[in-house]
Amino acid sequence: MSSKRLAPRPALVITTCLALAGCGGDAGEKKSGSAKARAANPASQASKPKQDIDEFAQLLETAITSPDCKGLKTKVNKPTQGGIEIACPAEVAKVGKAYAGYQTRGAESYGSGALIDYESAEAPDGGTWELSLGGDGTWVIDAGKITEERTVGTEFEKREDFDRVLDRFLGAVSEGDCDSFFKYSETYTEDKREACKEELPLYDALATALKADPDAKPFFIGGNGRYAFYGLETTKPRPVYRTVTVQETSAGAKEPYLVARTTVGPTP
Tell me which residue of 10, 133, 34, 11 sits closest to 81, measured CA to CA: 133
Say yes or no to pLDDT of 19 above 50.
no
Enter the DSSP assignment of 75.
I
Work out the angle at residue 252's Cα, subtended by the Cα atoms of residues 250 and 257, and round it to the nearest 5 degrees.
50
Give the per-residue pLDDT at 43.
55
Report the DSSP beta bridge partners of residue 79: none
Please compute the mean of the pLDDT values over residues 194-218 and round it to a whole number.
96
Say yes or no to pLDDT of 63 above 90.
yes
pLDDT per residue as tens digits for the range 105-162: 999 999 999 999 999 999 999 999 999 999 999 999 999 999 999 999 999 988 999 9
Let me know: does 133 contact 126? Beta carbons within 8 Å.
Answer: no
CB atoms within 10 A of CB 96: 15
Rg (alpha carbons) of the chain, rounded to whole number: 17
Question: Distance between CA atoms of 264 and 12, rounded to whole angstroms?
Answer: 24
The mean pLDDT of the chain is: 86
pLDDT per residue as tens digits for the range 45-58: 778 899 999 999 99
Question: Distance between CA atoms of 29 and 44, rounded to whole angstroms?
Answer: 18
Say yes or no to pLDDT of 30 above 80.
no
Question: Distance between CA atoms of 215 and 235, rounded to whole angstroms?
Answer: 10
Per-domain residue ranges of the chain: 9-25+43-146, 159-264
Let me know: does 110 contact 47? Beta carbons within 8 Å.
Answer: no
Q: How confident is the model at residue 238 (pLDDT cuts 50, 70, 90)?
A: very high
Say yes or no to pLDDT of 37 above 70.
no
Give the per-residue pLDDT at 81.
83
Say yes or no to pLDDT of 254 above 90.
no
Instruction: Say if 9-25+43-146 and 159-264 have the same CATH topology.
Output: yes
Q: How confident is the model at residue 181 (pLDDT cuts 50, 70, 90)?
A: very high
CATH 3.30.450.20 fits 159-264, yes or no: no
Say yes or no to pLDDT of 68 above 70.
yes
CATH code at 9-25+43-146: 3.10.450
CB atoms within 10 A of CB 106: 18
pLDDT per residue as tens digits for the range 182-199: 999 999 888 999 999 999
CB atoms within 10 A of CB 34: 6
